[in-house]
Amino acid sequence: MLRLAAVGKVYRGGHPVLVEADLELPPGEVVSVAGGNGSGKSTLLRIVAGLSRPSSGAVSGRPEVVGWVPDRFPPHERLSALNYLRHLGRVRGLSGRAATARAGELLERLALVGGSRTAIRELSKGNAQKVAVAQALLVPPELLVLDEPWSGLDAAAQGTLVTLIGEVAAAGGAVLFTEHREALSWSAASRAYRIDSGRVVPIRLQVQLCEVELTGGEQLVDWSALAGVREVVRQNDRLTLLVAAPDSDALLLTALRHGWTVLGLRRLGGGGSR
């Protein structure tokens, strides 16, 4: 099991980003980390992935196979998505045939738009992000670390990524990710933390939340003004709302009265520590 014990990170100039940070990542666990800009989220992830050394403290138990999805994928890569993934697959020990097959499978599941033979630098941000996710999963990771992995992804790919993360955990891999949207964090993670003044602090989810998906509204509604609504996400003709469970019935009634169709409702989290 990977452990961080009293990890600190101080950058040039003496500014401490992490202060005595403690974290455990057992196999099969999915953990999210929240925090504002500059709070140290990315620094924590890079230390966990082995890409940065702590200034103090200790990191132990890091597995050999680590998948890493950065917050920014190389935008000027001349290789096509398929050739890039095939090359990385070979570097990681796959045969050419196996690397090609695995790359094709992942790009198909993530629904890459633009074609697998298109140069990565010509892809949109969202589709380049799909390649970034795919490269981290070419070889089944024992530890998967993702920095804002849903950024730029379309709604379908967001759901696919939640599924892929679940598959890694089901196979015994540990997963750590950052995400600023509560709905995605709580739908994917089994535990959640935030970084507060450089320390890693557990988040306790006190109120159970529901994710409501709507479409086809005939009348405009100020959703964010309704009781219990935590988040509103629009994607084409669909609307996804994160709402406190006790307020979900009232929200659904409002939606139906205003001509909206309810596509789905699911509960997230559960009153304990998440």
Strands 191-196 and 199-202: antiparallel
Q: In the prediction, which pLDDT does 10 show?
A: 96
- CATH label of the domain that carries residue 226: 3.30.70
Chain-centroid distance of CA 269 in Å reads 16
Higher-confidence residue of 267 and 121: namely: 121
Angstrom distance (rounded) from CA 226 to CA 250 = 9
8 plus 61 within the same structural domain? yes
Angstrom distance (rounded) from CA 33 to CA 149 = 12
Residue 20 Rama label (left phi>0; alpha psi -120 to 50; beta): left
DSSP state of 33: E
188 plus 217 within the same structural domain? no
Within-domain flag for 110: no
182 plus 213 within the same structural domain? no
Count CB-CB contacts under 10 A for residue 67: 22
Angstrom distance (rounded) from CA 115 to CA 80 = 9
Whether 32 contacts 188, CB under 8 Å: yes
166 plus 257 within the same structural domain? no
Within-domain flag for 8: yes
Angstrom distance (rounded) from CA 271 to CA 274 = 8
Higher-confidence residue of 13 and 148: namely: 148
Q: In the prediction, which pLDDT does 207 show?
A: 64
Structural domain ending residue among the three candidates 149, 182, 202: 202
Q: In the prediction, which pLDDT does 182 show?
A: 64
Q: Is the pTM of this model over 0.85?
A: no
Q: Among residues 14, 24, 16, which one has the least CA distance to residue 43? A: 16
Angstrom distance (rounded) from CA 260 to CA 199 = 43
State the residue for tokens 């949109």.
Answer: 124
Indicate the average pLDDT of the chain: 90
218 plus 192 within the same structural domain? no
182 plus 214 within the same structural domain? no
197 plus 216 within the same structural domain? no
* 134 pLDDT tier (thresholds 50, 70, 90): very high
Structure-block tokens of residue 193: 């933390």
Whether 241 contacts 214, CB under 8 Å: yes
Within-domain flag for 28: yes
**Cβ neighbours for 15, distance < 8 A, ≥ 6 positions apart:** none
Structural domain ending residue among the three candidates 179, 202, 225: 202
**Statement: residue 205 has pLDDT above 60:** no
- Comparing 58-62, 90-94, 186-190, 226-230, the range with the smallest average pLDDT is 186-190
- What φ, ψ does residue 213 adopt, rounded to 5°? -115, 125
From edge to edge, which strands make up the β-sheet containing 261-268?
Answer: 229-235, 238-244, 209-215, 261-268
* 126 pLDDT tier (thresholds 50, 70, 90): very high
**Statement: residue 274 has pLDDT above 50:** no
Q: In the prediction, which pLDDT does 77 show?
A: 80
**Cβ neighbours for 166, distance < 8 A, ≥ 6 positions apart:** 30, 188
* 75 pLDDT tier (thresholds 50, 70, 90): low
Chain-centroid distance of CA 78 in Å reads 26
Within-domain flag for 73: no
Structural domain ending residue among the three candidates 180, 202, 224: 202
pLDDT in tens, 35-62: 888 899 999 999 999 999 999 999 999 9
Rounded to an integer, the average pLDDT of 116-125 is 92
Domain count, the chain: 2
Within-domain flag for 245: yes
Question: Which amino acid appears at position 42 of this protein?
Answer: S
Q: In the prediction, which pLDDT does 249 show?
A: 92
**Statement: residue 272 has pLDDT above 60:** no
Angstrom distance (rounded) from CA 242 to CA 232 = 7
Within-domain flag for 120: no
172 plus 223 within the same structural domain? no
Within-domain flag for 86: no
166 plus 263 within the same structural domain? no
Range of the domain at 263: 209-268
